[in-house]
Amino acid sequence: MKCVICKQAETVPGHVTVTLERDGLTLVIKGVPALVCPNCGEEYLSEETSIRLLQTAEESARNGVHVDVRDYVAA
């Protein structure tokens, strides 16, 4: 897909680090599959991946986690 931000390049498959923050929780997830623009670096996550990340964040918040760094694990 063409990058919607810079409109200059086609995105390529890669892995990124995603940081989620909410109500005192900071969750860093490494190795998240994404499409990445080689021109500007914009990252695009699939709906499935986004849902998985949000579920992980909700679970961490319920468990009282304040800071966590983990590797991405597909469902």
- How confident is the model over 9-65, as pLDDT tens digits? 999 999 999 999 988 899 999 999 999 999 999 999 999 999 999 999 999 999 999
* Amino acid 33: pLDDT: 98
Q: What is the pTM of this model?
A: 0.89
Look at residues 19, 12, 35 and name the one whose alpha carbon lies nearest to residue 70. 19
Which residue's structure tokens are 């080689």?
Answer: 38
- Residue 32: CB atoms within 10 A of its CB come to 19
* Amino acid 38: pLDDT: 97
Q: Does residue 22 contact residue 57 with C-beta atoms inside 8 Å? A: yes
